[in-house]
Copies of this chain bind each other. A is one copy, B any other.
């Protein structure tokens, strides 16, 4: 049960409301986001809203049978759009393309990528400065200095930044230089990180876990939302299965299922979803027609020279072709 409160509810009214809910054997959770204030009631018995509906300070009450609440479309039927400023929106009819290298590699790499994005009228650039790597001996990214370099070039060119945050201590450090914090597939259930991202007033894109279920992804989003941050995006990036002909199995089913279950925008990552350069385009197009609100994909001026993920990275010519095709599909709708 989600109770949205009136902005002017008094502390006394709120306590009275919570006491009333508790008397009906429901546990209450206070949720105060940057936008609104809610009380989440959790309980097992049937709840008759007439028992509280007359109390002052309530704007709206929704019974939500899903185990996740605030991210559910049973509460909020209208789709959420995420506003990055400067007219860049994602979701609720705004299809977003985000492209860039796996790892930010340096000034030249940044400039060439931005140049390509501008030529193709793409507003959001992806790239990693903190890289989760299986081996402790691998390149782990340029870190905060790389992010600052990137930020400078991006701002000059009107480009927004989405990049992965790996730990709590990086949140503040990165704050001034990112437009969307990305939670990687290995951190989807890093609940402390999610808690802390709830306190930040910047959008967060959560990737599905390496073998995470759709419900677990929604729960992870619920963590950030309940922590205070409503500006969330979800990202399908392929799951781990027995099939070894591709790096991951892109779960195309997850796109329409997530769109049915949640009001949040759903982004597709075909680069990790299939993991093989030649197949990124068909998977990206598939996700587009299946209803994704955006696509994030890896590009590089010379994929074979990329620091990481070169085997799944498009060159600029392939990228331009994909962008044209996705736009043609969106125009058809």
For the complex, give the distance between the alpha carbons of A274 and B258 in Å.
13
Given known A191-B166, A219-B134, A285-B289, contact A242–B245 (CB-CB < 8 A): no
CB <8 Å contact, B242 and A255:
no
Nearest B-chain residue to A41, judged by Cβ? B137
A177 at the B interface (CB under 8 A): no
- The residues of B that contact A250 with a CB separation of less than 8 Å are 252-253
CB <8 Å contact, A211 and B242:
yes
Contact of A289 among B169, B253, B282 (CB under 8 A): B282
A67 at the B interface (CB under 8 A): yes
- The residues of B that contact A171 with a CB separation of less than 8 Å are none
Nearest B-chain residue to A245, judged by Cβ? B214
Interface size range of chain A in the complex: 35 or more
A133 at the B interface (CB under 8 A): yes
CB <8 Å contact, B253 and A135:
no
- The residues of B that contact A215 with a CB separation of less than 8 Å are 134, 245
Q: How far is the CB of A272 from chain B (nearest CB, A)?
A: 11
- The residues of B that contact A133 with a CB separation of less than 8 Å are 191
- The residues of B that contact A257 with a CB separation of less than 8 Å are 245-246, 276, 279
CB <8 Å contact, A219 and B135:
yes
- The residues of B that contact A332 with a CB separation of less than 8 Å are 328-329, 332
Contact of A187 among B134, B190, B288 (CB under 8 A): B190
A229 at the B interface (CB under 8 A): no
Given known A136-B222, A215-B245, A252-B250, contact A285–B290 (CB-CB < 8 A): yes
For the complex, give the distance between the alpha carbons of A135 and B276 in Å.
26
For the complex, give the distance between the alpha carbons of A219 and B227 in Å.
32
- The residues of B that contact A120 with a CB separation of less than 8 Å are none
- The residues of B that contact A187 with a CB separation of less than 8 Å are 190
CB <8 Å contact, A286 and B290:
yes
Given known A168-B168, A213-B244, A239-B241, contact A286–B186 (CB-CB < 8 A): no
- The residues of B that contact A216 with a CB separation of less than 8 Å are 134
Nearest B-chain residue to A238, judged by Cβ? B253
A72 at the B interface (CB under 8 A): no
Given known A168-B167, A242-B213, A250-B253, contact A282–B273 (CB-CB < 8 A): no
- The residues of B that contact A288 with a CB separation of less than 8 Å are 289
CB <8 Å contact, A260 and B289:
no
- The residues of B that contact A226 with a CB separation of less than 8 Å are 136-137
Q: How far is the CB of A245 from chain B (nearest CB, A)?
A: 4
For the complex, give the distance between the alpha carbons of A260 and B160 in Å.
36
Q: How far is the CB of A61 from chain B (nearest CB, A)?
A: 17
CB <8 Å contact, A135 and B68:
yes
Q: What 3 pairs across the A-B complex have the smallest Cβ distances?
A: A211-B211, A286-B286, A186-B189
